[in-house]
Amino acid sequence: MDFFAGHRKLVFYIVCVSSAPQQNTAPDPPGDPSPLLRPLSWLSVILGVALVLRLVYLIVYSGMPDWEQLTVDNYYHHHWAQIIADGDLVGDTTYFRAPFYVWCLGLLYALFGNSLWVGRLFGLAIGLATVAMSYQLGKRVSSTKVGLIAAALAAVYPVQLYFESELLLDPLFSLLMLAAVERTLRWFQDGRIITALTGGILLGLAVLTRPTGLVMVPIIVILTLWPERRTKHLQRGLVILLLPVVVLVGAVFLRNVVVADDPVLIASQGGINLYIGNNKTADGLSATLPEPLGHNWQIAQVTHIAENDIGYELTPGEVSDYWQDRAADWIKANPGEFLQLYARKLAWFTGDREISNNRALVPFFTDHSLLKANPLSFAWLLATTLIALLFRWRLRVEYLLPLLTIAIYIAVMALFFYNSRFRLPLLPYFYLFAAIGIVVLVEVMVKRSRRLWFIIPTSIAVLVIAYIPRPGLIPHPAVQPLVSEGLHYQAHGDYRQALELFERARAADSTFPEVHLNIGVCLLRLGETNRAEDLFRHEIALHPQRYKAYTNLASIALLNDRPDSALAYATTAVDLAPRDITANRAWLRAITRSSPRQNRVLQTAANRALSRTDGSIYIALEGGLIALSRSQPDAASKLLALATELNRPPIETDDAAFGPQWINSPRAWRLQRAQAYYRLGYLAGSQGQVDRAIEMSQQAIAHDSTLAEAWVNLISGHATRGELSTVDSLLSLAGNRFPNNELIQSLRNRR
């Protein structure tokens, strides 16, 4: 069914109100219209339509396989919010991302649970608030009818619906910026201190959501100090408006200094993002770094490169400064290339094509029935916006503030790279000007003005320009979205489905980094070791600096009892990515297998691997298990005990939090500690230390009550001490908990 067929009443009203003469001031003529025609009644209708659309959108979405296929940033926000919901409000190191959206999401998770529905319903609420604020802005800048049309556009615009439900910070940033602009305009009109204070708080929260919100500060200052507007009253109000921004940003700055001894204003991501958009391989669209980092670059890798180049350990802020300097050096050395790239990014901000780094939006919009039926696109917003600027432009602050916000925001964001969600915060201002343009267009059509013969060709020309494909766009089908989707299925054990997606990615681009690697991993999981090994070698031939293929070849060599080959591969992997946990585990296995009779090798190797990985529990546990298998009880005891004491890495810079396999989650860490306690209990029991065996087994069960082996150890310990009543009680509990465990049921039957 056509999208507008179900909303004829709303569309009819938009046309009707647009045909009336336009008011140039915000207040509408006095009167007492019938309830049906009151603006708030129509706003209620628009909000009702917006609510229904969003609920239908989420219901349809929840039935699609894409519902649980989060992408990089979504996963990070989802996982970080879980940490906050668990009570870790302060964190452990410098913020890598601005924190306010995740604070909000974490609060909701604490209240309602960490369901994806909670996060996406939060997006729905943000969307409804954006619709209401679009009305407020349109009314304040022009008239009630403009406000209603702007609200209607916000209610139905497809990209708005999409991003609101994606657990991304951009919709909240968009809302806070919109509210700050509206309050600032009201302050310009009424001059009240409370209005300035409210606008400042909203702007400060927007900056804590995305630091690029700071572009608003110079705009507001310039408009306030403009000679025609400069008054002592406004100047005092400007101080009040900026004060909350300074306080809120200052609080986060102080937190970074106190927690991490790192004087970072808000977050340390900026320098890396600047380098992503300005280097010798930058295309302005992909969130990629030069090889060997590519799409799947990690914070640990970019930190290692920076520290290796500088020669000493760096804070996250210093790492950001390093990459910012690299970007600046490239710009200085290649001004022509920089200007060409910058111009292309500016052009993409005005293009109709919607682009995402990790999900192909065109197939997703096609698969979602509600989005598929919606014909609105950015080209239409741009065309009607140009009509407004050409035929209803006023040199007033009400027009200048949103227009300057668009211009300066685009100019700043184009320094980085383009993505549709980076344009999202500008949409409310395009809704505003598009609404004015629609009013102008309807007026001209009703009056049959001569201007119609100029407006219509102008609109068509803008539409054509917007629809023209921009150079350098990601080809369709985009490979990275296919890889991202395949990695989701791979992480959940569906290797057949993952393999199909990776094969499609290879067919689209057979040289894409790690596509052969991912196919090989699936084949390895499916038991096709020889084919997997060939693919890993092919990956190395194409991308010799990618460490993951070497890690996988080391694992295969160990399976085939070739420890020397395994050590060679693993050493290369560790040299390329010294902080990677998987590479270090493979290296630890390989070096101990290649030196089976040298007892000191294990402890030395484990210490080196622990140092490289900042004390990963996975390395300590791996070393302890190897020591147990080699009958080295002292080394095993030390490494396993260490595993019970190590702390999780800071969520702020945890690379694992950006993907589905969050190996450093509190639950995953707790399960690893349970394994360490269980092994310590087993070791103590084998050495006749019954009391310690019982204590360690109890700790294992406290960390993971589903660990059947720990129950067996605990029961054995109490049996050794002759505590038969305790044994009977434990057997009863364990027997009910593990009905399919043969050993526990056998012990129970003997009693």
pLDDT tens-digit series, residues 26-60: 444 444 444 545 777 889 999 999 999 999 999 99
Distance between CA atoms of residues 58 and 48, nearest Å: 15
The pLDDT value recorded for residue 6 is 38
459, 460, 463, 469 alpha-carbon torsion, rounded to 10°: -150
The pLDDT value recorded for residue 3 is 36
Distance between CA atoms of residues 334 and 721, nearest Å: 77
Residues spanned by CATH 1.25.40.10 within the chain?
665-751
Distance between CA atoms of residues 522 and 219, nearest Å: 53
Count of Cβ atoms closer than 10 Å to residue 74 Cβ: 18
Of 314, 273, 246, 404, the C-alpha closest to 94 is 314
Structure tokens at 85: 């919901």
> Which SS3 state, helix, strand or coil, does residue 675 take?
helix
| β-strand partners of 289 | 294
**What type of residue is 509?**
D
Contact 320, 272 (CB under 8 A): yes
| β-strand partners of 294 | 289
Of 11, 24, 130, 215, the C-alpha closest to 429 is 130
Report CA-CA distances (Å) from 628 to 123, 148, 631, 638, 700.
50, 72, 5, 11, 17
Contact 173, 209 (CB under 8 A): yes
Say how many CA atoms lie within 13 Å of 674 toward its Cβ: 18
Please list, in sequence order, all residues whose beta carbon lies within 8 angstroms of the beta carbon of residue 508, skipping any fewer than 6 positions away.
475, 477, 478, 479, 482
Computed from CA positions of residues 557, 561, 564, 567, in that sequence, does the dihedral angle turn out positive or negative?
positive
**DSSP string of 25-68, one letter each residue:** SSSPPP----GGG-HHHHHHHHHHHHHHHHHHHHHHHHTSGGGG
Report CA-CA distances (Å) from 55 to 48, 124, 165, 509.
11, 8, 11, 38
- pLDDT tens string 205-234: 999 999 999 999 999 998 888 766 556 677
**DSSP string of 208-227, one letter each residue:** HH-GGGGGHHHHHHHHHH-T
Say how many CA atoms lie within 13 Å of 473 toward its Cβ: 19
Please list, in sequence order, all residues whose beta carbon lies within 8 angstroms of the beta carbon of residue 691, skipping any fewer than 6 positions away.
none
The pLDDT value recorded for residue 751 is 64
Q: What number of H helices and E strands is found in the chain? A: 37, 0
Q: In angstroms, what is the C-alpha Rg of the chain?
A: 30
Distance between CA atoms of residues 227 and 234, nearest Å: 12
> Which SS3 state, helix, strand or coil, does residue 359 take?
coil
Q: Is 614 left (phi over 0), alpha (psi -120 to 50) or beta?
A: left
665-751 topology per CATH? 1.25.40
Distance between CA atoms of residues 417 and 370, nearest Å: 29
Q: 125 burial class (0-12, 13-18, 19+ CB within 10 angstroms)?
A: middle
Of 305, 333, 331, the C-alpha closest to 318 is 305
Distance between CA atoms of residues 607 and 95, nearest Å: 29
The pLDDT value recorded for residue 470 is 57
The pLDDT value recorded for residue 18 is 40
Please list, in sequence order, all residues whose beta carbon lies within 8 angstroms of the beta carbon of residue 274, skipping any fewer than 6 positions away.
323, 324, 327, 415, 416
Distance between CA atoms of residues 356 and 419, nearest Å: 6
Computed from CA positions of residues 178, 180, 182, 188, in that sequence, does the dihedral angle turn out positive or negative?
negative
What are the φ and ψ backbone dihedral angles of 161, each rounded to 5 degrees?
-60, -45
Contact 283, 472 (CB under 8 A): yes
Structure tokens at 399: 């027009």
Contact 215, 408 (CB under 8 A): yes
Q: How far, rounded to the nearest angstrom, does the alpha carbon of residue 332 sit from its chain's CA centroid? A: 31
Distance between CA atoms of residues 652 and 135, nearest Å: 37
Distance between CA atoms of residues 221 and 446, nearest Å: 41
Q: pLDDT under 70 in the chain at which residues?
A: 1-37, 227-232, 448-453, 465-477, 596-599, 751
Letter string b/e over residues 105-115, b meaning 16 or more CB atoms within 10 A of that residue's CB: bbebbeeeebe
**What type of residue is 75?**
Y
Structure tokens at 679: 């092994």
Structure tokens at 751: 């009693």
Distance between CA atoms of residues 633 and 626, nearest Å: 10
Contact 594, 625 (CB under 8 A): no
The pLDDT value recorded for residue 450 is 67
The pLDDT value recorded for residue 237 is 86
What are the φ and ψ backbone dihedral angles of 489, each rounded to 5 degrees?
-65, -35
Distance between CA atoms of residues 396 and 430, nearest Å: 17
- pLDDT tens string 172-181: 999 999 999 9
